[in-house]
């Protein structure tokens, strides 16, 4: 272990997270002197210090870890304080008001399919249970008759019959285990220093002041390979490889050598013609990853079984949580994890932490994030900027948004930051009218009337769109005189006004008004627009009224829009336009034989000339 504990683990509360997780140590937890407070220390599994701070709250009965590496400190009064891996306080909750009176005697932290739970027993011999601290629901069990049990534990649902009774090791370093309906075999392992035992998926971690060991049953596959006189295929292959390499017997043959076994496997697969190397390659890659995270500088002593149980994604999350970003990125690349699950996710977390560094300027952080993140897929600069804004660094957030290519991501955050002028400029630059409308509506609700129009005055595009939206609203309400007055006062282009009124009248199915409007003066948008809008509103009868007013160049298109093939054929033949005649022919069916014959004769005559 890398730590140097002067007094060892004596008079200390010690808790270690599962899956090779961090270790928390609180010295003299029941010390009550205000002049000398206990020290809460957090270490990696290899004993590298992560955080240390004086304990300023009440006496602590028990320490425990959640599956997400959050430290639970359970006090005598039933309060549970939660800290993150780096010693920052996150939140707290209470195990009930009545616990304050009777005090907590013992507590346990346990893990189940529902999440991380807490169980306590009070001085009145009553148990209180919370199966999931993230969705707190307290259960109070009946009072235990007689004297309180000397040893108790909390158990989740198990598919087998395994039951374990957890407690602290005594002075003689003995530990109690029970296994239902299974013959028991007790082994003694003398330990001189005080130690702490931590249950793992595939064994027991033994932590002392000087070292850390994993006690586990030797797997059957290892027994088959390494036991004396074994005739298992793996043992024969290993022996053959030994002879092949002409090596002597290893003095430490009792200890499993991964390199030796892998070399034997590599040697053996050469003699198999239909052997798929995928499993061999994946196993080698996983072992390399495990060797990397087991380094004392990282401090995650995972076994292969624990790694397979916790999955690769969880391992990456743990490395990211501990801020081992380079190692996490290298593992993602080495194992060829898709960017959105691997490198991009790590970079996003790195950038979110980077913007919280108070000792660097906004310019330096923005430059570092841009260089590191670049155009990595799956990393949104707007998300990073949002994190910077949450940390109170508005100017940094604006600088980061300059790197965001999507205006739809920039504008909402700028509005949230009360930078409406900049948001309007970005929306106009994007050319997205919906985005401009969004900003304009926001400004209209947030500003007084004078400031609103002064802002729009500096943005001609936004002002034009606002006028258009206002006219659309007036026309939709049937206020045609007011809409026409706005059209004249602000010199709205004729084409825009006619289009707006045409669509409004057609959508409201005011066909008589539409006909009057078409006759008010010569249409600046032509009459094909009237035909198409009427067809769009499913009124072919009204559309036919405007076909005769369409210019000769658009006659064929207008007749086809109202399904008048004969009229379209006449217009195409009159104009002697080969392309238009072909367009009409493509719309004809077998029943339109007369029209087809006319068009074919016209095309033949045009070809002769």
Number of Cα atoms under 13 Å in the Cβ half of residue 523: 22
pLDDT tier at 225, thresholds 50, 70, 90: confident
DSSP class of residue 249 equals P
The first and second tokens of residue 333, run together, are 């690349």
Query: Considering the chain, what is the average pLDDT of its residues?
Result: 79
Q: Going from the N-terminus, what domains does the chain have, and what CATH number goes with each? A: 12-155 (2.130.10.10)
pLDDT tier at 73, thresholds 50, 70, 90: very high
Q: Residue 582's pLDDT is what?
A: 77
DSSP class of residue 547 equals G
The side-by-side arrangement of strands in the sheet containing 12-16 is 12-16, 23-27, 39-43, 49-54
Do residues 85 and 131 touch, judged by C-beta distance below 8 A? no
Average pLDDT of 301-318? Answer: 88
pLDDT tier at 180, thresholds 50, 70, 90: very low
pLDDT tens digits for 92-107? 999 988 888 888 888 9
Do residues 447 and 425 touch, judged by C-beta distance below 8 A? no
Average pLDDT of 7-31? Answer: 84
DSSP conformation letters of 359-424: TS-HHHHHHHHHHHHTT-TT--HHHHHHHHHHTT-HHHHHHHHTT---HHHHHHHHHHTT-HHHHH
Coil vs helix vs strand at 267: helix
Residue 159 CB partners (closer than 8 Å, separation 6+):
none
pLDDT above 70 (res 512) = yes
Q: Which is nearest to 70 in space by CA: 85, 51, 54?
A: 85
Do residues 422 and 402 touch, judged by C-beta distance below 8 A? no
pLDDT above 80 (res 206) = yes
pLDDT, greater one: 370 or 37: 370
Rounded to whole angstroms, the Cα distance separating 168 from 129 reads 21
Rounded to whole angstroms, the Cα distance separating 332 from 339 reads 8
Q: Which is nearest to 382 in space by CA: 415, 360, 405?
A: 405
This prediction's pTM: 0.60
pLDDT, greater one: 437 or 545: 545
DSSP class of residue 135 equals S
pLDDT above 90 (res 463) = no
pLDDT above 70 (res 165) = no
pLDDT above 90 (res 144) = no
Average pLDDT of 46-61? Answer: 89
Do residues 319 and 36 touch, judged by C-beta distance below 8 A? no
The first and second tokens of residue 489, run together, are 């006062």
pLDDT, greater one: 271 or 287: 287
CA-to-CA dists, residue 562 to 291, 540, 546, 566, 599, angstroms: 75, 6, 10, 11, 19
The first and second tokens of residue 574, run together, are 């009159």
């Amino acid at each position: 272990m890398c730590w140097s504990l002067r007094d060892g683990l004596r008079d200390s509360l010690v808790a270690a997270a599962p899956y090779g997780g961090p270790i928390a140590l609180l010295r003299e937890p029941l010390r009550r002197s205000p002049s000398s407070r206990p020290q809460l220390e957090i270490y990696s599994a290899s004993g590298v210090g992560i955080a240390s701070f004086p304990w300023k709250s009440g006496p602590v009965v028990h320490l425990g870890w959640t599956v997400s590496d959050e430290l639970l400190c359970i006090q005598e009064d039933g309060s549970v304080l939660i800290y993150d891996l780096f010693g920052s306080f996150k939140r707290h909750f209470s195990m009930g008001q009545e616990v304050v009176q009777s005090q907590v005697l013992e507590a346990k932290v346990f893990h189940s399919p529902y999440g991380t739970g807490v169980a306590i027993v009070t001085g009145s011999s009553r148990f209180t249970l919370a199966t999931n601290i993230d969705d707190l629901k307290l259960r109070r069990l009946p009072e235990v008759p007689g004297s309180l049990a000397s040893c108790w534990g909390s158990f989740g649902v198990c598919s087998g019959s395994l039951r374990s009774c957890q407690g602290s090791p005594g002075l003689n370093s003995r530990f109690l285990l029970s296994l239902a309906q299974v013959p028991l075999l007790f082994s003694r392992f003398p330990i001189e220093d005080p130690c702490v035992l931590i249950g793992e998926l595939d064994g027991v971690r033994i932590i002392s002041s000087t070292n850390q060991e994993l006690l586990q049953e030797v797997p059957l596959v290892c027994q088959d390979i390494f036991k004396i006189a074994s005739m298992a295929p793996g043992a024969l292959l290993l022996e053959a490889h030994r002879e092949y390499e002409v090596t002597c017997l290893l003095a430490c043959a009792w200890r499993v050598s991964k390199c030796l076994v892998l070399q034997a496997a590599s040697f053996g697969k050469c003699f198999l013609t239909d052997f798929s190397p995928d499993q061999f390659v994946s196993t080698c890659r996983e072992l390399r990853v495990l060797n990397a995270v087991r380094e004392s500088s990282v401090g995650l002593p995972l076994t292969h079984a624990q790694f397979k149980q916790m999955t690769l994604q969880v391992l990456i999350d743990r490395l990211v949580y501990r801020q081992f970003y380079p190692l996490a990125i290298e593992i993602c690349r080495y194992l060829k994890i898709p960017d959105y699950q691997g490198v991009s996710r790590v970079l996003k977390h790195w950038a979110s932490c980077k913007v919280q560094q108070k000792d660097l300027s906004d310019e330096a952080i923005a430059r570092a994030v841009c260089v590191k993140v670049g155009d990595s897929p799956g990393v949104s600069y707007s998300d990073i900027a949002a994190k910077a804004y949450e940390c109170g660094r508005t100017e940094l957030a604006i600088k980061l948004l300059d790197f965001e290519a999507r205006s739809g991501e920039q504008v909402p955050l700028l509005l949230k930051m009360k930078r409406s002028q900049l948001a309007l400029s970005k929306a106009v630059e994007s050319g997205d009218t919906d985005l401009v409308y969004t900003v304009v509506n926001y400004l209209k609700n947030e500003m007084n009337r004078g400031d609103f129009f002064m802002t729009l005055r500096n943005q001609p595009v936004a002002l034009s769109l606002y006028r258009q939206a206002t006219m659309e609203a007036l026309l939709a309400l049937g206020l045609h005189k007011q809409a026409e007055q706005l059209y004249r006062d602000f010199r709205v282009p004729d084409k825009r006004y006619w289009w707006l009124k045409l669509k409004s009248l057609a959508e409201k199915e005011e066909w008589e008004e539409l006909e009057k409007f078409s006759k008010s003066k010569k249409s600046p948008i032509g009459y094909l627009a009237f035909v198409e809008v009427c067809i769009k509103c499913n009124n072919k009868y009204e559309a036919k009224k405007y076909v005769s007013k369409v210019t000769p160049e658009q006659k064929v298109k207008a007749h086809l829009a109202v399904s008048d093939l004969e009229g379209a054929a006449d217009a195409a033949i009159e104009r002697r336009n080969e392309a238009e005649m072909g367009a009409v022919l493509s719309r004809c069916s077998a029943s339109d034989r007369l029209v087809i014959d006319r068009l074919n004769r016209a095309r033949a005559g045009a070809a002769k000339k």
